[in-house]
Structure 1
Amino acid sequence: MKKVLLILLLALNLYSNAQTRNKDAYMFCYFKNNGQDGLHLAYSTDGLKWTALKGDSSFLTPMVSKDKLMRDPCIIRGADGLFHMVWTDSWADRGIGYASSPDLIHWSQQQQLPVMENEAGARNCWAPEITYDKTSKTYMIYWATTIKGRFPNPDSLSESGYNHRIYYVTTTDFKTFTPTKLLFDPGFNSIDATIVPDGKRFIMFFKDETLHPVQKNIKIAYADKLTGPYSKPGEKITGNYWAEGPTTLHIDNKWIIYFDKYRDHKYGAIMSTDLKNWTDISGQIQLPIGIRHGTIFKITSDELDKIIQSTDKN
């Protein structure tokens, strides 16, 4: 009888360890300072406590554009199994950075995607992101740009004349791209869009950049198709502080929205089960010191182990 119990306990232990090993982990890609040293990664198993990898040093040094920056990184796992990343490569350029990786350790040659090259008045391309549409098997890359003389707004005169709207291209292979189009114009200065699928609809979280009267907060818009049209945004979901760079995590039927409280030099987070009622959980999160905004995505525990092992060797 004792032998049977021992075998059962051993089997349960092995099963428990296997379940732990097979559990997904979460990765947070981000930048520090001005983005000059490149890509940083941190991981979490619960979506609250994040641990920097590689001693919080860079995984990839930026090589494109005259500024050679890697700000606002966004990584998704593609249908091809590769990790695809885009980033802000310059403060004042008409392109964005792009690279891919099979394992987040080894990266392809970096490219600049000239997404706004046909807009002579385009002043910038900031905070690009990628979302995949399973129905059309298409990736949409989108970002914020100010085009001189477009969407004139007196409010924009107070912040170097910036008056952003969200633009996009689509691709199936990251080699050929559709012409650039306007994705989202809520009628005011908007930036830092991140779009996630939710059943048959798509949810856009973005920053309202309005300064007069001051907004500087995160709002939500919805669409039936990834490329829109998106609904009129609702009321702000963040509190009485300036917030930017939202990224989402849907875990245990709860939505967690992380964002950069950039004037306070710290990170914040809110949580909801219905996308309507939000609870501030900023006091529950732990993040690497000096983190600036990026995006969260899933990896397997095996992939995480390989990254940790590779960085230990270095």
Structure 2
Amino acid sequence: MKKIYILLAAMICCASNLFAQSNKAVYLFAYFKNNGKDGLHLAYSRDAYQWTALKNDSSFLKPTVSKDQLMRDPCIIRGADGLFHMVWTVSWKDKGIGYASSKDLIHWSEQQFLPVMAKQEGARNTWAPEITYDSLTKTYIIYWASTITGKFNETASSLEDGYNHRIYFVSTKDFKTYSETKLLYEPGFNVIDATIVKDKGKFIMFLKDETREPVQKNIKIATADHLNGPYSNSSQSITGKYWAEGPTAIKVGNEWLVYFDKYRDHRYGAILSSDLKDWTDVSDKILLPKGLRHGTILTIKEKELKKLLKQ
């Protein structure tokens, strides 16, 4: 009888472990390579540090919208409707962004061009769009960086083609109708690559200070009580003396892990914090597919990963 109890206990333990594994979130990195011509790339990880490219690091979706037909800076979130929603940079100089949705990250809807800066006279670009959802208002906002000629002259520079960005946004509840474009964040400096995460009722924006004179080129943080702001003044830099861009942030347990592109060094970096104030560099602990560029991290289910692994 004792042997039967031991066998039953072992079987229950094994079943519990299998159940836990099947329900444990898998991390997915959506990114582009080179100039973004071949489209969406995906990699997965079970610990958020060691990443493996899917589909032999070939494209899951090739871009079709805008005259340049690029798919740079892909951002994917799982919507309240159960669909995956993605936006991306379609061009260096266009006045809109790309949008598509998917049930499984394999089969995608028809790609749309969203002309979010078309009504903004003097708009020069629409870069690195992202999506964040507010469960309280059941509203998504899509936000990005743009330069509008003649605006914010106090921070203008003749360097880097005179770009002088601020963060703009539109809101939507269904990805069919959109609000008018509005200014989301004006920190008093040239800012790009914003990404917003909700945590304990607060909205946390990670952003790049793009200031060239005197040089910044680092990642900072701002916070707000509401998704559409107003956001606080930015923090001090949370990254090192290298040039950093394209942050994507996730919480692993109780710790914040922020990935970013050390683009001058042609490698990725990562920092870790439990309080968003004191940061430890963990760049030597990460392993990413070769050539990975600016993207975003989300979580998927084990059954969704299994389908992706078959591609």
* TM superposition score category, shorter chain reference: over 0.9
CA contact (8 A) 2:35 2:70 kept: yes
C-alpha distance in structure 2 between counterparts of 1:274 and 1:17, whole Å: 33
1:42 maps to: 43
Displacement, 1:8? 1.6
Partner of 1:281: 282
1:156 CA displacement: 2.3
Q: CA deviation at 1:153?
A: 4.1
Deviation for aligned residue 1:307 = 1.3
Q: 1:268: which partner in 2?
A: 269
Structure 1 moving runs of 4+ over 2 Å? 153-156
The 2-side partners of 1:91 and 1:23 are apart by 38
Q: Report how far residue 17 of structure 1 moved.
A: 1.3
Q: How far apart, CA to CA, are the structure 1 residues paired with 2:297 and 2:220?
A: 19
Between the two proteins, the alignment pairs up a number of residues equal to: 310
8 A contact 1:155–1:210 mirrored in 2 = no
| Aligned residue number for residue 96 of structure 2 | 95
In structure 1, the partner of 2:153 is 152
What's the % identity of the aligned pairs? Answer: 65
Match of 2:300 in 1: 299
Alpha-carbon contact 2:155-2:189 (below 8 Å) kept: no
Aligned counterpart, 1:136? 137
Question: Secondary structure at the residue paired with 2:7?
Answer: helix
Q: Which residue of the partner structure matches residue 32 of structure 1?
A: 33
Structure 1 distance, partners of 2:31, 2:108, is: 16
Q: Structure 2: which amino acid aligns with 1:112?
A: F
Name the structure 1 match of 2:17.
16
Amino acid at match of 1:142: Y
Letter in 2 for 1:135: L
Residues in 1 aligned to 2:266 and 2:170: alpha-carbon distance in whole angstroms: 33
| Structure 1 residue 155, shift from structure 2 partner | 4.6
2:243·2:262 contact (CA, 8 Å) conserved in 1?
yes
1:72-108 Cα distance to aligned partner (Å, 9 max, x none): 0000000000000000000000000000000000000
Deviations, residues 177-227 of structure 1 (Å, cap 9, x unaligned): 000000001111000000011111100000000011110000000111100
Cα distance in 2, alignment partners of residues 106 and 142 from structure 1: 25
1:199-214 to 2 correspondences below 5 Å: 199-214=200-215
Q: What SS does the corresponding residue of 1:220 show, helix, strand or coil?
A: strand
TM-score (norm: length of structure 2)? 0.98
Aligned counterparts of 1:273 and 1:125: Cα–Cα separation in 2: 33
Q: How far apart in 2 are the matches of 1:307 and 1:7?
A: 35
Q: Secondary structure at the match of 2:284?
A: helix
2:119 paired residue number: 118
Is this contact kept in 2: 1:96–1:114, CA < 8 A?
Answer: yes
Once residues 198 and 11 of structure 2 are traced to their aligned partners in structure 1, the CA distance between those partners, rounded to angstroms, is 41
For the residue of structure 1 that corresponds to 2:278, the secondary structure is: coil
The verdict on how the C-alpha distance between 1:14 and 1:115 changes in structure 2, with shifts beyond 3 A counting, is: same
- Give the secondary structure class of the aligned counterpart of 1:160: helix
Contact 1:153 1:163 in 2 (8 A): no
Contact 1:28 1:41 in 2 (8 A): yes
Letter in 2 for 1:269: A
- Letter of the structure 1 residue corresponding to residue 114 of structure 2: L
Name which of structure 1's ranges 165-174 and 5-14 shifts more when overlaid on structure 2: 5-14
Q: What is the Cα deviation at residue 2 of structure 1?
A: 1.6
Alignment partner of 1:215: what SS? coil
- Indicate conservation of the 8 Å contact 2:155/2:188, yes or no: no
Structure 1 vs Structure 2 CA RMSD: 0.8
Q: Deviations over 1:254-285 (max 9, x none)?
A: 00000000000000000000000000000001
Aligned residue for 1:20, secondary structure, equals helix
Amino acid at match of 1:131: T
